[in-house]
Amino acid sequence: MERSAYSFQEHLVHPEDSGQHPQSGEPHKKFTNYRFDPQEFKRQVKVMAEYVRRHPKFVEERRRLRRLRKSPEEL
């Protein structure tokens, strides 16, 4: 979601190796494999999803779309 609060817990992500750039062979974070706790990841996703569901802009847009769907039926 654009401009929403990003929740990234860097201390919960651990690199498995140094990762190497395929062309230069130099260490590069982009090509590193990372490990993390799956349960904590699921919890973080739930927290972020709830943040989006409760965001005022998201709530207002859902209401607007619901009203649009009801309008043609009432006519």
Find which of 26-30, 39-43, 61-65, 67-71 is predicted with most confidence, using mean pLDDT.
61-65
Q: What's this model's pTM, rounded to 2 decimal places? A: 0.58
pLDDT tens string 10-55: 778 888 888 888 888 888 888 888 888 899 889 988 988 999 999 9
How far is Cα 37 from Cα 46, in angstroms, rounded to an integer? 14
- Angle of helix 56-74 relative to helix 38-54, nearest 10 degrees, comes to 60
DSSP lists the bridge partners of residue 15 as 34
> Could you identify the residue written with the tokens 């201390």?
11
Token duo for residue 49 = 């999803």
Q: Where are the domains of the chain?
A: 36-75
Q: Taking the CA atoms of the chain, what radius of gyration do you get in angstroms?
A: 21
How far is Cα 63 from Cα 44, in angstroms, rounded to an integer? 26
